[in-house]
């Protein structure tokens, strides 16, 4: 078990940003699923109640009680098929997105798309009378708005990029994005109205990002700065290297003087050796004999 967890951590660390987002979504799904099963086994029917605190409510009053849900809802899924389809889209279009933008852009667009999708969902439910009877009971979850933001950003950047679809052949990316957005517009009054409205908000966020970046402004920079700051709180603190202390020794000779003295000593020994060869040991003075003896010990 420990080996499996270690392998998963390593794959998460080495994976692209869209792979890491997929890991997070799957991990959250499994955690909530296992928690719900355990609560049910102990006859604790509070799993749905707890889930409500991380889903995004349509009610502004309820949202003020759980403002974090504007972020948490985009990592939740209603079931395995909901998770599977969203993660497949994230995998395909995440890889495509990274051909045109950076990993930090993808991370920022994912969060921005989720925020804009959630904001439009809440706005529409409280603005249009059609949805008002549903407000007290309406909650939303899913990564669809975030994923669609990634799709539309890529479509704006490379509208004619060819996409090969099973059974449909090759279609340009801009047409695929238009079809998806068009279907969401047609389904805003369906049973999953909140989800389709959020999709539209995510699509607008992706277009907003790509347009602004083309003009030289990165509207996801504040998101990435916030994520990096929070991540820094939980990362192991780097130990500060001790400052090097320099002690000054006034008795220590300067390099120049030291080298000059060594050179003079060497020349003196060479002179004494020459004298020894020519005239013998007895010709050396007492001082010269002493210097020769000291030099022989080094």
Q: Greater confidence, 286 or 206?
A: 206
> Is the predicted pLDDT of residue 47 greater than 80, yes or no?
no
* pLDDT recorded at residue 56: 97
pLDDT at 251 over 80: no
- The single-letter DSSP state of residue 79 is S
Predicted confidence at residue 166, as pLDDT, reads 81
Write down all domains in the chain, each with its CATH number in brackets.
2-234 (1.20.1540.10), 264-296 (no CATH)
Give me the mean pLDDT over the 178-194 stretch: 94
Kindly tell me if the per-residue pLDDT of 194 is higher than 60: yes
Residue scoring higher pLDDT (251 or 206): 206
For the chain, percent of residues with pLDDT exceeding 90: 63
Mean per-residue pLDDT for 140-152? 97
Which pLDDT belongs to residue 49?
A: 78
Structure tokens at 251: 């008795």
Q: In degrees, to the nearest 5, what angle opens at C-alpha 206 toward C-alphas 151 and 180?
A: 45
Structure tokens at 42: 């102990």
Q: Higher model confidence: residue 251 or residue 126?
A: 126
List, in order, residues 6 or more apart from 196 with CB less than 8 Å away: 184, 185, 187, 188, 190
CB 108 within 8 A of CB 223: yes
* Choice among 2-6, 136-140, 153-157 with the minimum mean pLDDT: 2-6
Query: What global pTM score does this model have?
Result: 0.76
For residues 247 and 224, what is the distance between their CA atoms, to the nearest angstrom? 45
Name beta bridge partners: 165: 169
Q: Of 24, 178, 212, 197, give the one whose Cα is nearest residue 105.
A: 212
């Amino acid at each position: 078990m420990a080996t499996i967890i270690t392998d998963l951590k390593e794959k998460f660390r080495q994976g692209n940003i869209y792979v890491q987002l997929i890991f997070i979504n799957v991990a959250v799904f499994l955690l909530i699923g296992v928690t719900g099963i355990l609560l049910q086994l102990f006859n604790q029917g509070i799993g749905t109640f707890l889930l409500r605190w991380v889903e995004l409510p349509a009610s502004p009053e309820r949202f003020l009680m759980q403002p974090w849900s504007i972020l948490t809802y985009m990592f939740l899924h209603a079931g395995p098929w909901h998770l599977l389809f969203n993660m497949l889209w994230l995998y395909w279009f995440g890889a495509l997105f990274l051909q045109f933008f950076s990993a930090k852009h993808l991370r920022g667009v994912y969060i921005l798309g989720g925020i804009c999708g959630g904001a439009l969902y809440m706005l529409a439910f409280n603005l249009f009378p059609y949805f008002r009877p549903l407000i007290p009971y309406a909650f939303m979850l899913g990564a669809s708005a975030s994923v669609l933001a990634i799709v539309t950003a890529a479509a704006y950047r490379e509208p004619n990029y060819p996409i090969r679809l099973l059974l449909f052949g090759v279609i340009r990316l801009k047409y695929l994005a238009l079809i998806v957005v068009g279907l969401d517009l047609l389904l805003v009054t369906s049973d999953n109205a909140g989800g389709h409205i959020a999709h539209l908000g995510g699509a607008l966020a992706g277009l907003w990002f790509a347009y602004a970046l083309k003009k030289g402004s990165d509207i996801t920079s504040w998101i990435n700065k916030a994520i990096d700051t929070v991540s820094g709180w939980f990362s192991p603190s780097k130990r500060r290297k001790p400052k090097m202390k320099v002690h000054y020794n006034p008795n220590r000779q300067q390099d120049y003087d030291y080298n000059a003295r060594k050179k003079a000593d060497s020349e003196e020994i060479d002179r004494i050796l020459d004298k020894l060869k020519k005239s013998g040991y007895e010709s050396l003075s007492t001082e010269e004999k002493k210097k020769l003896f000291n030099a022989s010990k080094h």
